[in-house]
């Protein structure tokens, strides 16, 4: 084709084609209508709670930072921290047993997890609280009144949480690519360095989310120790409303404190997850 012929060919009208191919976003009227309806219902619910005099918000404000409530809150936080540390320490050991080549250790770990996940935590606490009636003496030590309510709560909750922590840790370790461990072995890294530099950082990506849920669940689950007269947050407000008969506002005090603490823990979990997810997030 000659240059004269090329000169006669009209150039495409790019702006007109661009207008013809213009993308129009889909109108999602149903979603917007549902969102407005949900916000309206949420506003009505919040308004009904705030304006309902039966909640006695003035009483809630009076007891929210009272000494007895704050002491119960502190015991709840302390008990949660102790149980989580001891529970994950024992759970990690059980996970190592479960992954061991020794069949005896594997079966012991499996049996422990099966047993403590099968028995309700309330039943476990009551059994430990009455251990003196079952075994008045163990290894030459009298068990009657040996453990107080707080010690019983620590033992019962720790053994219970360890069963779940063992499965969380085991799942995180199994999530690590086996090829990376073999590559570390080929490089001559010691077992400790392999676990510290290769296995543990990658396993934490799978361990942190369920561990965070366990932490929040343990915090709320400590309220069950009130049945054995441990002066946690719930038991503290129960003592007050048994004296004043102001049940609803005192329960709201406990509810607000549980909500605040779990929210803070949720924010902390988000940042810990973000820390261990570095290098694995997709670039958008």
Question: pLDDT tens digit string along 51-64?
Answer: 888 888 999 999 99
Q: Does 211 fall in a domain?
A: yes
**Residue with tokens 């719930």, as numbered in its chain:** 234
The 3-state DSSP class for residue 275 equals helix
Q: Report the CATH number at residue 163.
A: 1.10.3720.10
Note the pLDDT of residue 283.
42
**Gap between the Cα atoms of 265 and 144, Å rounded:** 38
**Residue of 150, 155, 13 whose CA lies nearest to 71:** 150
Q: Which residues, given as ranges, of the chain have pLDDT below 70?
A: 1-22, 24, 279-284
Q: What is the pLDDT of residue 4?
A: 54
Predicted pLDDT at 8: 54
Residue-wise pLDDT for 232-265, tens only, equals 999 999 999 999 999 999 999 999 999 999 999 9
Instruction: Measure the CA dihedral 147/150/152/158, to 10°.
Output: -140
pTM: 0.80
Report if residue 258 sits inside a domain.
Answer: no
DSSP secondary structure string for all residues of 104-152: HHHHHHHHHHHHHHHS-HHHHHHHHHTHHHH-SEETTEE-TTTS-HHHH
In a domain, 37, yes or no: no
- Which pLDDT score is estimated for 284? 43
The total number of structural domains in the chain stands at 1
Count of other CB atoms within 10 angstroms of residue 238: 18
Q: Is residue 58 part of a domain?
A: no
DSSP string, 56-121: -HHHHHHHHT-HHHHHHHHHHHHHHHHHHHHHHHHHHHHHHHHTSS-HHHHHHHHHHHHHHHHS-H
Domain that holds residue 200: 74-229
| Residue 170 falls inside a structural domain | yes
pLDDT at 24: 63
């Amino acid at each position: 084709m000659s240059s004269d012929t090329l000169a006669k060919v009209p150039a495409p009208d790019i702006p007109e084609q661009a207008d013809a191919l213009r993308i129009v976003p889909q109108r999602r009227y149903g979603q917007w209508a549902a969102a407005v309806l949900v916000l309206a219902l949420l506003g009505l619910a919040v308004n009904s709670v705030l304006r309902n005099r039966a909640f006695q918000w003035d009483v809630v404000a009076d007891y929210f930072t009272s000494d007895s409530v704050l002491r119960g809150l502190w015991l709840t936080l302390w008990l949660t921290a102790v149980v989580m540390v001891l529970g994950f320490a024992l759970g990690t050991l059980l996970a190592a047993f479960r992954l061991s080549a020794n069949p005896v250790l594997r079966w012991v770990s499996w049996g422990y997890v099966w047993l403590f996940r099968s028995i309700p935590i309330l039943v476990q606490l009551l059994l430990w609280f009455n251990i003196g009636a079952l075994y008045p003496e163990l290894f030459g030590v009298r068990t009657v009144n040996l453990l107080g309510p707080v010690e019983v709560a620590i033992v019962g909750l720790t053994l219970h949480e360890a069963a779940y922590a063992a499965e969380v840790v085991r799942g995180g370790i199994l999530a690590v690519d086996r090829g990376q461990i073999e590559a570390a072995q080929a490089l001559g890294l010691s077992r400790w360095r392999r676990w510290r530099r290769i296995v543990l950082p990658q396993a934490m990506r799978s361990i942190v989310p369920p561990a965070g849920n366990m932490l929040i669940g343990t915090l709320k689950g400590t309220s069950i120790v009130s049945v054995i007269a441990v002066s946690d947050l719930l038991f503290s407000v129960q003592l007050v409303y048994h004296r004043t008969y102001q049940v609803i506002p005192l329960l709201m005090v406990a509810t607000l404190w549980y909500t605040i603490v779990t929210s803070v823990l949720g924010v902390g979990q988000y940042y810990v997850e973000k820390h261990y997810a570095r290098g694995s997030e997709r670039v958008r």
